């Protein structure tokens, strides 16, 4: 486990945009980065202590709070990731009131969370206080069971599901059927993993809410808030 005392000093945050059909940013995901990354970020989070994970989450919330006027003025949502180890923080009354005051902050819960498949889990309690998104749908763990057990309005499709289906014969029909199901059941769907124009074209006529991926650069907060009020992608969606 990584427990270096100065580890938090090496952490910084970037925002990855999610673009709606009109080409405007509808949301940004706050992601953690390291100034000198000795290992991939997923491995970093597996190895660090719960205390450090919690500190990172609180720093992310503070960063969004600091710039909440920009998010509200531009009608842009900010999302932050939580996992099994940091969920308990969100039950604190002070945190609930803090996030409620911020107003534009939502939380993403990964499909691999065990809480998503437990009946009567903490997720149902937290859904009453926060806007929780299901992240990485289609990664192969909770899937539709998580949707049956929990109330989500927003779903993020796994990048691997996008990549796999786009490489298969008939995969486009399968993705279209899945997105149509979500659409008629009033879910807003963000599709991750959009790294080339091929995916934009492949998804063009499907009922998604937003697209996200490395086709568009992630930005630090100072870069994000100095862009024009209505931020647009030059790529036709």
Largest CA distance in the chain: 51
What residues contact residue 215 under an 8 Å CB cut-off, 6+ apart? 194, 195, 196, 197, 199, 200, 235
pLDDT digits (tens, 9 = 90+) for 8-62: 778 899 999 999 998 899 999 999 998 876 667 676 767 778 888 899 999 999 9
Q: In whole numbers, what is the pLDDT of the chain averaged over residues?
A: 87
What pLDDT, on a 0 to 100 scale, did the predictor assign at position 5?
Answer: 46
What pLDDT, on a 0 to 100 scale, did the predictor assign at position 119?
Answer: 56
What gap in Å lies between CA 20 and CA 17, rounded to an integer?
Answer: 10
CB 126 within 8 A of CB 132: yes
Token output for 200: 């934009």
Q: Report CA-CA distances (Å) from 38 to 10, 44, 96, 209.
A: 11, 8, 34, 35
3-state secondary structure of 152: coil
Written as tens digits, the pLDDT of the chain (237 aa) is 444 446 677 889 999 999 999 889 999 999 999 887 666 767 676 777 888 889 999 999 999 999 999 999 999 999 999 988 888 899 999 999 999 999 999 999 887 676 665 655 678 788 889 999 999 998 766 667 777 767 788 999 999 999 999 999 999 999 999 999 999 999 999 999 999 999 999 999 999 999 999 999 999 999 999 876 455 666 666
What percent of the chain is predicted at pLDDT more than 70?
A: 83
Domain spans in the chain, listed from the N-terminal domain onward: 7-224
- Give the alpha-carbon dihedral of 5, 88, 40, 200, to 10 degrees: -140
The CATH number assigned to the domain with range 7-224 reads 3.20.20.450
């Amino acid at each position: 486990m990584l427990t270096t005392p100065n580890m938090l000093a090496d952490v910084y945050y970037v925002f990855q945009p999610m673009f709606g059909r009109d080409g405007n940013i509808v949301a940004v995901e706050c992601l953690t980065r390291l100034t000198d990354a000795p290992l991939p970020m997923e491995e970093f989070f597996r190895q660090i202590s719960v205390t450090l994970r919690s500190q990172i989450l609180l720093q992310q919330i503070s960063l969004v709070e600091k710039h909440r006027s920009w998010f509200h003025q531009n009608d842009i949502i900010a999302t932050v990731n939580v996992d099994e180890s940091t969920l308990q923080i969100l039950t604190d009354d002070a945190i609930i009131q803090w996030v409620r005051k911020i107003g534009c902050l939502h939380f993403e819960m990964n499909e691999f969370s065990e809480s998503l498949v437990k009946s009567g889990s903490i997720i149902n309690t937290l859904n009453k206080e926060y806007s929780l998104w299901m992240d990485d749908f289609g990664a192969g763990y909770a899937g539709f069971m998580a949707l049956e057990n929990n109330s989500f309005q927003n779903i993020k499709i796994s990048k691997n599901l996008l990549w796999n289906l786009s490489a298969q014969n008939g995969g486009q029909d399968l993705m279209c059927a899945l997105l149509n199901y979500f659409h008629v059941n009033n879910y807003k769907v963000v599709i991750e993993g959009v790294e080339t124009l091929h995916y934009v074209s492949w998804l063009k006529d499907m009922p998604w809410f937003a697209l996200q991926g490395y086709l568009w650069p992630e930005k630090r907060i100072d870069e994000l808030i100095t862009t024009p009020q209505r931020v647009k992608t030059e790529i036709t969606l």
